[in-house]
Structure 1
């Protein structure tokens, strides 16, 4: 298995599990990890987002789940190899049936977002065949603590639908970051955060690259505690 090296941990990858991507890095770095005690990641894949959350919040216990047994096993191995292993667990579970006696202060998800895709590769990770937006939101509200935050990264064009579904389930939008791939381009992703209490909305715009294959100052600053950049 090939390992992707970050500053404070490494992430093993394999063909059967969705590879590390920019979306995961952005959510891991942008989410409001705060000082919460319990964090849940839905659909963890290799475990990257959970590992970033563990690094950012040194007192939280992180539970990660994935319906794919290969992903759950890989993430568990990556957690075990990390310096945060005592505060992390990975479970092979279907979120639609997942239950917890304790509520979570932060729920993270880089959800499946292609309605249909003829490719069989990464079918669970990138198609809404096992977990659609509505099911994700409804189940998350049942597991979120009264003051907890629900944090996701989704395609820009899905933002209005996602926000409408959250409103139907008594969640309020508190953060909205429009993400462009390259300077001057239209947004392609949204980082959105929700909670049960209405608060002033924090909005922003984020650009990943200032020119082709050259990271923006925003991206370099955001990920400086994680990425190992070539000199």
Structure 2
């Protein structure tokens, strides 16, 4: 998904000025998270704006606040919002999530966060900012999300399994508990590639679901095609 633009069924994403292009992670998070008719949504690290736009399509009564630290990505996300059918319901804050303030809490918070604290960095500073936790640590993410989530709200994140385990421990210290996890496998015979986690202030028994992206033949699975069907062309 590295093209300069990407066409969805109901909106188009231009991404030539964004360090991180549209990814499978973003598509999975935007399509698989669950929420009971949220009226207010916060998208932390919106990048191209794709998750905000997917949620605007899914939740027709929701107002969405996107946050993006990178200036170029923020400008492009805002342009993507303005030419979409959902422009009136999405706003953007350009800056660090730690500096974002809101008088109101949110029914739903989502994030496809950076997760490489110890990964060898490249010479691309913008890509480093999107991938590494220097600018947004798990501690800052959990602490600030806990302050902005309403008491009955839901906080969804997508991470590799090891990082999800680390984040879960930190989130627990802010009374955010993992209620649901979707374990994503590339194929049936391979290990967990990503975990999509739902956190809330309710410490309930966790539900584990499984999604396999591809059949042994390499074709997308029927379940994954169903996930994509409301958003991507050709599904």
Q: Compute the TM-score of the two structures, normalised by the length of structure 1.
A: 0.95
**2: CA distance between counterparts of 1:120 and 1:178?**
32
What is residue 34 of structure 2 aligned with on the other side? 32
- Number of aligned pairs? 230
**1: CA distance between counterparts of 2:36 and 2:218?**
32
**Aligned alpha-carbon RMSD (Å):** 1.5
Query: Which consecutive residues of structure 1, in runs of 5 or more, have no partner in the other structure?
Result: none
**2: CA distance between counterparts of 1:42 and 1:190?**
17
Q: For 1:221, which of 186, 209, 226 is the aligned residue?
A: 226
Q: Structure 1 80/181 Cα, relative in aligned 2: closer, same or farther at 3 Å?
A: same
Asked if 1:204 corresponds to 2:212, the answer is no
Q: Structure 1 145/208 Cα, relative in aligned 2: closer, same or farther at 3 Å?
A: same
**2: CA distance between counterparts of 1:169 and 1:183?**
35
What is residue 55 of structure 2 aligned with on the other side? 53
**1: CA distance between counterparts of 2:20 and 2:123?**
12
Q: Would you say the 8 A contact 1:45–1:71 is kept in 2?
A: yes
Q: For 1:83, which of 78, 82, 85 is the aligned residue?
A: 85
What is residue 132 of structure 2 aligned with on the other side? 127
What is residue 41 of structure 1 aligned with on the other side? 43
What is residue 190 of structure 1 aligned with on the other side? 195
Q: Would you say the 8 A contact 2:212–2:224 is kept in 1?
A: yes
Per-residue CA shift, 1:12-59, capped at 9, x if unaligned? 111443100000000000112431110000000000001000000000
Q: Compute the TM-score of the two structures, normalised by the length of structure 2.
A: 0.93
Q: Would you say the 8 A contact 2:67–2:97 is kept in 1?
A: yes
Query: Which consecutive residues of structure 2, in runs of 5 or more, have no partner in the other structure?
Result: none
**1:212 CA drift (Å):** 6.2
Q: Which runs of 4+ in 1 moved over 3 A?
A: none
